[in-house]
Amino acid sequence: MPLVTLKDVLQPALRNGHAVAGLVTLGWEDMRAYVAAAEAEGCPVILQAGPSCRAHTPLPVLGKMFRHLAEHASVPVVAHLDHGYTFDECEEALEAGFTSLMFDGSRKPLEDNIAETKRIADMAHSAGISCEGEIGFVGYDGGEQSNGTDPKEAARFAAETGVDAMAISVGNVHLQQDQSGGLDENRIAAIQAQTDVPLVIHGGSGVPAVQRKRLAQTTNICKFNIGTELRMAFGTALRAAVGSDPDRFDRVQILKDTHDPVVAATRTVLQTMKG
């Protein structure tokens, strides 16, 4: 089926008490595995091109890859720009066929974040696609510290930007390799009391699976971004494939062996977000 927008998959999730996975892609092998897993689970999937993905493969190429996968998939697929930092980058993604733009102005002062996010949301909506923004800063495991989302600022951000989804900082961090953390459910409830915009959790790999499932069913969190968890699964599968036969050198054959393990790991992730 053709690509769909972020709004197309998040509004049903909001109504029906589940979440959709935003899966961070790095190349063809993981993209293909993610779509296969979504088909096996019978649920939509959001393919995300973040900064490291874009540094490796140009946006126009990524747009064609996402579109090809979507057109041959039996489930809805969203082509999502993750952490776009400039208007020009977001515009390039739109022109490349992406159906969702995430502008990250979370490091900027509130007024600037609102103004710049609104400009990109207006551009996206004029083209018939979706926009995600971020209020509060989601930090990095062992790196930049988070700045938690203020509920009143979140309400203002949602109202003034017109975003279709809002990423929040509630104890989540990027690049966490285990699920020892957890989200601040009181802060989530306070944000949800101020706005009905679908909420997004970046750094979803660090959220315990049980909490992920419960929040997907009982709150307005409609999207969990998952990267590290699946990159680890891919890396483990790749090391096993390389080590299984020291005489094998064809990378197509080696990478082929990552497919089934990554599909299995992705299916486990998707199951935590179902209603």
User: What residue segments make up the domains of the chain, in order of their start?
Assistant: 6-271
Q: Residue 175's pLDDT is what?
A: 66
Low-confidence ranges of the chain (pLDDT < 50): none
SS3 74: coil
* Structural contact between residues 225 and 82, judged by C-beta atoms closer than 8 angstroms: yes
Q: Residue 223's pLDDT is what?
A: 98
Q: Which two tokens stand for residue 20?
A: 């959709």
Q: Residue 143's pLDDT is what?
A: 73
Q: Is 82 a catalytic residue?
A: yes
Q: Residue 242's pLDDT is what?
A: 94
Q: DSSP strand E in 127-239: where?
A: 130-135, 165-168, 199-201, 221-226
Q: Residue 152's pLDDT is what?
A: 97
Among 82, 104, 150, 164, the active-site one is 82
Segment holding 102, helix H or strand E:
strand 100-103
* CATH for the stretch 6-271: 3.20.20.70
What crossing angle do the helices spanning 185-192 and 151-161 adopt, rounded to 10°?
40
pTM listed for this prediction: 0.96
d(CA 256, CA 274): 28
